[in-house]
Structure 1
């Protein structure tokens, strides 16, 4: 069996997500395992070159993880015909221009989301990629997490019966930065730098809802800035004018109602930082990133409302865990392997830039709903 090299230009991987999930737990993990195995039995070995604007950071990252190639010259990297794939995990505002450069250079592209800051920019990127005949993909990591895979298995098996509702709760307290350092970068809270939780998170919720439950049809959303002043990485106070919380009601195909709250100003009292509860006529389930609990209608308790007496029923007792039905790997790595197979042997792959554009469609509909204080329909996206 043969092993084929795949040169990958990895841009913007000095950040936390780019380093941990894409470089270390995906590309380098694949290398450690001997490459991606193809249907033929052959393997594909990723050969990354790390690209960044700060030479000290990029050099240190390459040295730390034993990556031989690094550079600050993106143009030179794109001109190298030995590297076929461009990957970007830099800032959202820069992404459309970077994708345009890579496509013009004839590279296949794979990138983080959002793929742009506006739907129009996203559609332009889609059209250019398709007109150039290059393969393209967008990271949609959450649908490959064990908890959501278990929910999808329950849906596909008919466990829920007729699905009624989906309740999503996401968020945690991000410190303001004055007395304790913030866990997120300051640009997240500045509109002119591409910040805002609606842009950041509703791109996720679009692909999660479409792929795990049912297709999105309309939205009513209220955004807000709960904390108007924060402190940046240098301890300087700044105006936080981007939305830091969003409360959305979303209608799905088949009459399913989804409510998703996203907030960086909430102190969670639940099993995970994000949970999804699905209720149906035949059963319910609730999942975090890894675990999933289910309750069939035959096991549903019979509570009685009595405000004068403390609840006597143990409402947790009739729920049972959904067992692991597979050996779940890192979700980012799984999607990297899928895209590499698509690239090399034309294996089926649906998570293209078109899917990324759908995320921006939901973002803009949510912003319009917030502005107009009304429901906004989500039509089929025209390319």
Structure 2
């Protein structure tokens, strides 16, 4: 049994705690480690790190994690822990990654990897020069619904892909008469908030990997709810964008349009849905389910506003079955990264892929400000 000591920063936050600590690292521990191609297994040994010693210590005790600290410098100085993971705030991430790289650690982190392209690219180049292994979380590619879309694409089901329509979001309560289900910093520009920075990083890797490299972007943002109430019950000015309406030109000619909003009420199959239309067929996927309609099963509607609609448009779609086991997407990517560290397994999701996400978010914000289309240039490593 091999061991990897993992310095885990940001586990007191919702994502770091639920998806990365509990459902990934501890789940891997409980299953007896990650199996390599040689048959050997790798066990992850986490040390939890955070500024609030009381919170970090409570989490460690709750889950039987023996090691925790509020001294990140001491954790980085320990040669027995070779991997640094960060799921903390975006504004801290660049400097933390730089410290970890300087300490000789391999790094794996949430996105965005920074709130600006200049710092993101500098961090990625530091990692390359240091010769360490590095990766960024691209979790949505591992969702069952999107894996089914990838399978349909690879099978030729769509024919030539014409367009992608994405709808993401839900109503985030303002915090006055119902508590908000997202942290207040999400809505403050000074704290690194904003849905464009948050979500366009996701849409970059989804579009690039599934439908075609992003060539150009046009984005309109909005702050629909300008005043909210924070976790302590204090009103504050929400000056960050809480909605984004973005259109993308993709390599190969397809057009993608994705609406992202924390001020929308859901009347669709899931919190995020993607409709992909092609010459031979279409599909609609959420987080887990995916429905298809082939050209031979496509109904032939005729526009007539004077009579009630007679076609059941929902009834003409077939669900893609669960013919394989879909594990938690974050855990699946953790296992993939561990195999990359120990087995030299394939790993396309390095920090330069993270730079691309920050680049698209930055271009989206600039497009909104300048009210125009912007080309997406290649990232120079």
CA deviation after TM superposition for structure 1 residue 85, in Å: 0.1
**Alignment of structure 1 residues 275-294 onto 2, 5 Å:** 275-294=273-292
Q: Which residue of 2 aligns with 1:198?
A: 196
Determine the C-alpha separation between the residues in 2 that align with 1:65 and 1:332. Answer: 19
Instruction: Determine the C-alpha separation between the residues in 1 that align with 2:27 and 2:2.
Output: 17
1:300-315 to 2 correspondence within 5 Å?
300-315=298-313
2:6 is aligned to 8
Q: Secondary structure at 2:249's aligned position in 1?
A: strand
- Counterpart CA distance in 2 for 1:135 and 1:15 is 25
Distance between the aligned counterparts of 2:155 and 2:50, measured in 1?
A: 46
Cα RMSD of the aligned pairs, angstroms, is 0.6
Matched with 1:239 is 237
CA distance in 1, matches of 2:203, 2:59: 32
Q: Distance in 2 between matches of 1:317 and 1:302?
A: 14
TM-score (norm 2): 0.99
Mean Cα deviation higher: 257-266 or 360-369: 360-369
Runs (4+) off by over 3 Å? none
Following superposition, the deviation at residue 268 of structure 1 comes to: 1.1
C-alpha displacement of 1:325: 2.9
Measured against aligned partners, the alpha-carbon deviations of 1:254-296 in whole angstroms (never above 9, x if no partner) come to 1100000000000010010000000001000000000000000
Query: Is 1:135 matched with 2:133?
Result: yes
The SS at the match of 2:327 is: coil
The count of corresponding residues between Structure 1 and Structure 2 is 381
Give the superposition deviation at 1:326: 1.4
Correspondence for 1:156: 154
1:335 and 2:333 are equivalent in the alignment: yes
* CA displacement at 1:65 relative to structure 2: 0.5
Query: Could you give the per-residue CA deviations for residues 20-73 of structure 1, whole angstroms, max 9, x where no partner exists?
Result: 100010001011111000000000000000001111101100011110100011
The separation in 1 between residues aligned to 2:102 and 2:340, in whole angstroms, is 21
* 2:92 equivalent to 1:97: no
> 1:220: which partner in 2?
218
* Secondary structure of 1:255's aligned partner: coil
TM-score w.r.t. length of structure 1: 0.99
Q: Which whole-Å CA distance do the structure 2 matches of 1:193 and 1:74 have between them? A: 21
Structure 1 residue aligned with 2:109, among 105, 108, 111?
Answer: 111
* Partners of 2:197 and 2:323 in 1: CA distance: 34
Q: Which residue of 1 aligns with 2:318?
A: 320
The residue that corresponds to 1:186 in the other structure is: 184
Match of 1:146 in 2: 144
Deviation at 1:381, TM superposition (A): 1.1
- Describe the SS at the equivalent of 1:125: helix
Which runs of 5 or more structure 2 residues have no equivalent in the other structure? none
> Which whole-Å deviations, capped at 9, do the CAs of 1:312-351 have from their partners, x for residues lacking one?
1111111000112310000000000010011111111010
